[in-house]
């Protein structure tokens, strides 16, 4: 049996007629940028999160960049960020001239809340929390730290649409929540798309201008902005998917539960779930001592996997100028060498799920 790491076509086929109609209706409308469909999705998504404001953007990266820019964070400022994350989280900081200050992850792969305060200096302006793989970070404690030290709190929710921590949805804890709707995300578009959410009206109005060349009214530019507008087609498609998102979440959770209950191999460490949280399973990440051997074994048996993320950001060539060395963040480095993501996607068949479980249970280390 051949099992891809992801199958986006199956998600499309689930609601094919609705997606097709949404695209055709948008094309026939003759209005393709910042029209009624973008406004509709912004209202729907803010209602879903129970937050006041949403600004639809071109990508999750733009959301991060504009978030820190809107908060006035730039050269000379420091931002706390997890050492275990995707590079986009850090680019959002450095594109504004600020310096990322890395913090080790906890056993749930998110930023370790107990190690944040030791990294705070008089230059620290914000904490960026990344809710990795679909599980929220320890937000009650992090929120308290941000208040205690008078720091902005920004959430990267690219992988955590709808995840809950202590009854609050990710993206609603901080000053700004940043979302990606890249096609592989749980709430994915059919191209690049993103958004920011906030309860702060001033931030909302500022980012609305920033996404559209710094303008509220055409040709009247109040600030220097960029072009970061979600197009009408992506907004229309996201409205369709959001309508079905409860069922899509349940499907992913069911697959993850089958993996958790079915995989029984001492060579494979399954993901842990923090008490009081609702995991949305963007990725199902396991750890093993012999990752390359395990990955090759799965590939030989027709199962494709991915590694998130093989090179920690602090050791990447892009951020060599920060001066970090091997051993600077040993937990993040350990995870980068031992983690591997299993297939988990909408439309994954029962026999495919069972096949993955059976093959893994038969795996033996060298």
* pLDDT tens per residue across span 152-197: 999 999 999 999 988 899 999 999 999 999 999 999 999 999 999 9
Show Cβ contacts of residue 138 under 8 Å, excluding neighbours closer than 6 positions: 106, 110, 113, 165, 274
**Residue 276: predicted pLDDT:** 85
Question: Which of residues 243, 265, 284 is at a domain's end?
Answer: 243
Residue 3 lies in a domain: no
The CATH number of whichever domain residue 352 belongs to comes to 3.90.1150.10
Distance CA 147, CA 301 (A): 51
Q: How many CB atoms lie within 10 A of CB 264?
A: 10
- The pTM (predicted TM-score) of the whole model is 0.96
- Residue 52 in any domain: the answer is yes
Cα–Cα distance for residue pair 332/90, rounded to 1 Å: 15
Structure tokens at 284: 């199902």
Asked if 5 and 343 touch (Cβ cutoff 8 Å), the reply is yes
Rounded to the nearest 5°, which phi and psi values hold at 260?
A: -60, -40
Angle at 366 between CA 283 and CA 270, to 5 degrees: 25
Q: Please tell me whether residues 217 and 265 are part of one structural domain.
A: no
Count of structural domains, the chain: 2
Are 34 and 72 found together in one domain? yes
Q: Are residues 55 and 117 in the same domain?
A: yes
Cα separation, 171 vs 51, in Å, equals 9
DSSP conformational letter for 132: G
* Among candidate residues 202, 227, 243, the one where a domain is terminated: 243
Asked, for residue 49, whether it belongs to a domain, the answer is yes
The predicted structure's pLDDT at residue 167: 86
Domain span holding position 189: 8-243
The ranges of the chain with pLDDT < 70 are none
pLDDT in tens, 302-321: 999 999 999 999 999 999 99
> Rounded CA gap, 180 and 267, in Å?
34
Q: Clarify whether residues 104 and 87 are in a common domain.
A: yes
Residue 17 sits in a domain whose CATH number is 3.40.640.10
Same domain, 309 and 356: yes
The pLDDT assigned to 31 comes to 95
Q: Which tokens belong to 340? A: 């591997």
């Amino acid at each position: 049996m051949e099992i891809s790491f992801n199958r986006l076509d199956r998600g499309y086929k689930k609601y094919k007629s609705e997606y097709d109609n949404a695209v055709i209706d948008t094309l026939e409308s003759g209005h393709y940028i910042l029209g009624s469909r973008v406004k509709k999705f912004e209202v729907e998504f803010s209602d879903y999160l129970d937050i006041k404001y949403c600004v639809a953007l071109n990508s999750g990266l733009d959301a991060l960049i504009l978030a820190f820019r809107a908060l006035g964070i730039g050269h000379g400022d420091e931002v706390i960020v997890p050492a275990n994350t995707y590079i986009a989280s850090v680019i959002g900081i450095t594109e504004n001239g600020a310096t990322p200050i890395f913090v080790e992850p906890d056993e749930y792969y998110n930023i370790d809340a107990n190690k944040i305060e030791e990294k705070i200096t008089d230059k620290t302006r914000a904490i960026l929390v990344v809710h990795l793989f679909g599980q929220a970070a320890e937000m009650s404690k992090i929120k308290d730290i941000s208040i205690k030290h008078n720091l902005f709190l920004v959430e990267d929710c690219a992988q955590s649409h709808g995840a809950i921590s202590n009854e609050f949805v990710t993206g609603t804890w901080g000053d700004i929540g940043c979302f990606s709707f890249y096609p592989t995300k749980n709430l994915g578009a059919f191209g690049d798309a993103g958004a920011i959410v906030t309860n702060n009206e001033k931030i909302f109005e500022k980012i609305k201008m920033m996404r559209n060349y710094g303008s509220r009214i055409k040709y009247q530019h109040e600030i220097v902005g960029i072009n970061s507008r979600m197009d009408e087609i992506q907004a229309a498609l996201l409205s369709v998917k959001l309508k079905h998102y409860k069922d899509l979440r349940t499907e992913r959770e069911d697959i993850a539960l089958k993996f958790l209950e079915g995989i029984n191999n001492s060579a494979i460490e399954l993901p842990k779930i923090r008490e009081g949280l609702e995991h949305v399973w963007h990725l199902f990440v396991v750890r093993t001592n012999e990752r390359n051997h395990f990955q090759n074994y799965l590939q030989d048996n027709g199962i494709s996997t991915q590694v998130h993320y093989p090179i920690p950001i602090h050791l990447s060539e892009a951020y060599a100028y920060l001066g970090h060395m091997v051993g600077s963040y040993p937990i993040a480095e350990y995870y980068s060498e031992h983690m591997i993501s299993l297939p988990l996607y909408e439309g994954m068949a029962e026999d495919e799920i069972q096949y993955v479980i059976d093959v893994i249970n038969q795996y033996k280390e060298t």
